[in-house]
Amino acid sequence: MHEHRVVVTGLGVITPVGNDISTFWNSMQEGKNGVGPLTSFDPAKFDSRIAAEVKGFDPVNYGMSFKDIKRMDKFAQYAVASAHQTIANSGINLEKEDRTRIGVLIGSGIGSLHTIEAEHKNMLDKGPSRMSPFLIPMLIVNAAAGQVGIFFGLKGPNSCVATACASGSHAIGDAFRVIERGDADVMVTGGTESSVTPTGVGGFCALKALSTRNDHPEKASRPFDRERNGFVMAEGCGLVVLESLEHAKKRGAKILAEIVGYGMTCDAYHITAPDPEGDGASRAMQIALKDGNLNPEDVQYINAHGTSTKLNDKIETLSIKRTFGAHAKKLMVSSTKSMTGHLLGAAGGVEFVVCCLSLMHGVIPPTINYEFSDPECDLDYVPNKARKVNVSVCMSNSLGFGGHNASLIVKKFTD
């Protein structure tokens, strides 16, 4: 039995399809595509020349000074901006709170490639004496969590998770546990990433992991579709405020949803390829169900990891069928990466936000670009058009390089 029930009271995003919750959610419902030609550097020599980039982002709009901006990599800027949103959305008055009871747990799979690339070039061109004294504080993967703590004076538990594409989900799950056991009353948590750089894109191109549908970028991210040929690099951040039910009620918070289950496992199979039997991902889902005291039939919607790679989509489908049995055919399963691209370590944070919004508004976002059915991907992927349906229990899956698997379950709050 969990010591403390944990609820969601705030949401915040920076994404390729919207830099606030309202714009983002409208994009999800409309099937808006955030993928286009890569603009942040010249991609002419790269196999993949497309990405889902954040557009119109100005850190000054989120309370960051020019000095702050110079001392923060983009992934940390995105985190501070999303934290501004989610704290405001939660309605929490930090001036009236014991900030030693408010913590931060933010995941990132890669972190600060912008800073590393720029300062490495600086060292080669001008020598080590001309390197920035802020290089190390900017490149460390915990910089996002640290900067959010500093900006808002949050002195409770503060940590980060780096488990590749499962980072955001693991961060939320671990923050859930922190509150459950009474180590904090409130946690700002999720994932952030900004690795659309020459090194980031080049590295994934070398792995042959990225879509090369350069002539039709809007069709490139196509999870579960037979013609999928790789994922699309993306950037952004998704954060939530988690809170103990007692604390939320005491301050009269609007409760958006309740997080009830968390499962984490390892494939122990291969550093990039998923276990072909789908065992690790299936066990993560089973653990989350048991943790939430739920039966498979209780889940109505899964926001899938759904990367648009040949192996991931096939094996995730298999793992869902292993977990849910006959009920798998009744599930709605969609991949919002078809719209946002793959935000790597931020994906789980953004997709958990999607699950909360689906519960709140009774809308399941679609898997866009679904044109050709794959016999090995034979579930209901909510193709191309959002579906209006009231759901009470949603699951979010994240499956990362290294064999890291995370499943989160969130449900409508009932007293």
What are 356-368's pLDDT values in tens digits? 999 999 999 999 9
Question: Does residue 405 share a domain with residue 318?
Answer: yes
Whether the per-residue pLDDT at 338 is higher than 70: the answer is yes
Whether the per-residue pLDDT at 378 is higher than 80: the answer is yes
Taking residue 243's Cβ as centre, other Cβ atoms within 10 Å add up to 28
Annotated catalytic residue 165: yes
Burial zone of 370 (CB within 10 Å; 0-12 exposed, 13-18 middle, 19+ buried): buried
Question: Does residue 155 share a domain with residue 301?
Answer: no
Whether the per-residue pLDDT at 9 is higher than 80: the answer is yes
Q: How many residues does the chain have?
A: 415
Question: Does residue 105 share a domain with residue 35?
Answer: yes
pTM, two decimals, is: 0.98
Question: Does residue 327 share a domain with residue 381?
Answer: yes
Q: DSSP 3-state assignment of 402? A: coil
Taking residue 358's Cβ as centre, other Cβ atoms within 10 Å add up to 28
Q: Which whole number is the average pLDDT over 147-154?
A: 98
pLDDT tens sequence across 113-149: 999 999 999 999 999 999 999 999 999 999 999 999 9
Instruction: Single out the residue in 230, 250, 270 at which a domain terminates.
Output: 250
Question: Does residue 357 share a domain with residue 224?
Answer: no
Annotated catalytic residue within 305, 355, 377, 394: 305
Note the pLDDT of residue 2.
Answer: 62
Question: Per the structure, how many domains does the chain have?
Answer: 2
CB 32 within 8 A of CB 369: no
Q: Which whole number is the average pLDDT over 244-262?
A: 98
CB 296 within 8 A of CB 307: no
Whether the per-residue pLDDT at 1 is higher than 60: the answer is no
Annotated catalytic residue within 160, 165, 205, 394: 165
In angstroms, rounded to a whole number, what is the distance separating the alpha carbons of residues 138 and 142? Answer: 9
Annotated catalytic residue within 237, 342, 355, 377: 342
Per cent of the chain over pLDDT 70 is: 100
Range of the domain at 285: 262-411
pLDDT tens sequence across 286-302: 999 999 999 999 999 99
Whether the per-residue pLDDT at 3 is higher than 90: the answer is no
**What are the Cα distances from residue 165, in Å, to 135, 161, 211, 402?**
24, 11, 17, 9
Q: Which residues, 6+ apart, have CB-to-CB distance to 2 below 8 Å?
A: 180
Question: Does residue 306 share a domain with residue 192?
Answer: no
Whether the per-residue pLDDT at 61 is higher than 60: the answer is yes
Annotated catalytic residue 305: yes
Task: For residue 257, tell me if it sits in a domain.
Answer: no
* Identity of the residue numbered 408: L
Question: Does residue 187 share a domain with residue 141?
Answer: yes
Question: Does residue 230 share a domain with residue 313?
Answer: no
pLDDT confidence of 309, banded at 50, 70, 90? very high
Whether the per-residue pLDDT at 350 is higher than 80: the answer is yes
Tokens matching residue 102: 């408010």
Question: Does residue 245 share a domain with residue 292?
Answer: no
Task: For residue 27, tell me if it sits in a domain.
Answer: yes
pLDDT tens sequence across 33-46: 999 999 999 999 99
Tokens matching residue 166: 């499962």
Question: Does residue 387 share a domain with residue 313?
Answer: yes
For the chain, give the mean pLDDT: 97
CB 78 within 8 A of CB 237: yes
Whether the per-residue pLDDT at 315 is higher than 90: the answer is yes
pLDDT confidence of 415, banded at 50, 70, 90? confident
**Which CATH number is 277's domain given?**
3.40.47.10
Task: For residue 219, tell me if it sits in a domain.
Answer: yes
Per cent of the chain over pLDDT 90 is: 99
pLDDT confidence of 307, banded at 50, 70, 90? very high
Annotated catalytic residue 404: no
Question: Does residue 328 share a domain with residue 224?
Answer: no
